[in-house]
Amino acid sequence: MTETGPVAADNPDSPQRAAMPAWLPRAMVLALALLGLFELANWAAHQLIGIAIMMTVAFFVSLAMEPAVDGMAGRGVNRGLATAVMFIIVFACTAGFLATLGVLLVETVSHVVNELPRLLDELVDWVNRVFHQNFTLGQLRDRLFKDSDIISSYAERAANNVWGLSSTVLGGLARFVTIALFSVYITADGPKLRRSVCSLLPPDKQGAVLHAWDLAIDKTGGYLYSRALLAVISAVAHGAFLALLGLPNALALGIWFGVVASFVPTIGTYIAGVLPILVALTIRPLDAVWILLFVVVYQWVQDYVLQPRITARTVDVNPAVALLSVIMGGALLGAVGALLAIPATATLQAFLREYVKRYEVSEDPRIERKGGARKQRKLDEAAAKDSED
C-alpha cells in the first residue's frame, strides 16, 4: 500500500495543497491604503486644528458684532463702514485694557519693590515680638540666598527661554491679527454668507438653519453686551471705592476690576481683588480688609441683583453651569475655549429650549418645599400608624 498523504503535502504542485484565497492580496492592499489614508487625515487634522480654532473664534466674534452692525445698517449706514466702526471700538477698548493692565503691573511691582525693605523689617519685628525670637534681616537674607547656584541656574534658564517667549508672543500676535481679519470679513459679509449656506440646503431646511443662526447671534451678542454693561458698573463701583480709600491708580484698578469680574464667571471678582489688596497691603494693611469686604458684598449684589435683571433677556446661564463650561472650555481649547464657553453654552441652551420637548410638571410639595414635604410625610406616616393601632 502506497503512502501518498505526506508526499502530496510536501509537493507544492499537488492539488491537495491549500492555495491562498484570491481576495486576500486585494484585501491586504486595501487595508494598507485605508491605513495610509487614516494617517494622512490624522496628520492633516493636527496641522489644521489651529486654523479651525481661529476660524471658530472669528465666527463667534462675528456673531457678537452682528446685532450692532445690523442695527447701524438698518439705519442706513453702509455695512462695511458699520463693521469698521464696531471693530475699531472693540480694538480701542482691548488696547486700553491691555495698557491699563501693563501700567498697573509695572507700578504695582515697582511700588512693592520699593516698599519691600520696610515690609520685611515690619514682618521680622512682628515675628520676633509674637514668637519671642531674635531674627535679623541679615540672617533671613543669608538663609534665603546661601545657595547662589540656584539663582544663577534660574537666571540661565530664563535667559535661554527668551527666544521661546519671543516666538510665543509673535505667534500669538499673528493669530490675533488672523482672527481679527476673518472676523471683519465674516461680519461685513454676514448676509452673503447666510445666503451661500442656504443655497446648499433644500428650501424646507433653510428656515431652521436661519433660525438657529439668529439664536446664536442673539445669545452671543447678548452675552457680550450684558457683560460689557456689568463691566462698566463694576469699574465705576470699584474705582469709586478705591478712590475713597485713597489708593493710587484707582481708575485703572477699577477698569481691571470691571473686566475681570464681569468676564470671568463666579470667581472673577475675587481674582480681580488680589491686585488692589496687594497694593493696599503695601500702604495701609487695614484697607485690604475693607477691599475684601467690598468685593464679597459686590459679588453678592452682582449675582443676585444686577445680573438677573441685565441678563434676563440676553444670556441667562446658571452660575454653576457657567463655571463648569469655562473649566471644560479651558481644558479643551485653553484660554480661547474659556472665553467662548459661556456664549456657546447659552446658544446650546437656547437650542435645547427650542427643539427639545418639555412636559408639564404637576404641583408637588417635594418640588417647591422639600422641608414641608418631609414634615407632611412624617405626619402622614404617624397618622397611618395611629389608625392601625
12 within some domain: no
297 within some domain: yes
- The three-class DSSP label of residue 13 is coil
Q: Report pLDDT for 144.
A: 54
Q: What is the pLDDT of residues 107-148, one digit of tens each?
A: 777 766 776 677 777 777 777 777 777 766 666 666 555 554
d(CA 248, CA 115): 14
275 within some domain: yes
d(CA 219, CA 344): 8
13 within some domain: no
Q: Report pLDDT for 1.
A: 46
218 within some domain: yes
Q: Report pLDDT for 34.
A: 92
99 within some domain: yes
Q: Which structural domain, as residue segments, surrounds residue 197? A: 74-137+170-354
Residue entry with cell 417647591: 368
86 within some domain: yes
Q: What is the pLDDT of residues 148-191, one digit of tens each?
A: 455 556 555 655 565 555 666 677 778 888 888 888 888 888 88
pTM (predicted TM-score): 0.64
Question: What total number of domains does the chain contain?
Answer: 1
359 within some domain: no
d(CA 324, CA 316): 15
Residue entry with cell 404617624: 382
Between 203-245 and 335-355, two packed helices, what is the crossing angle to 10 degrees? 130
- 201 CB-near residues (< 8 Å, 6+ apart): 209
- Residue stretches of the chain with pLDDT short of 70: 1-19, 111-112, 115-116, 135-169, 265-266, 311-319, 335, 364-389
- 197 CB-near residues (< 8 Å, 6+ apart): 209
Q: Could you say which DSSP state residue 17 is in?
A: S
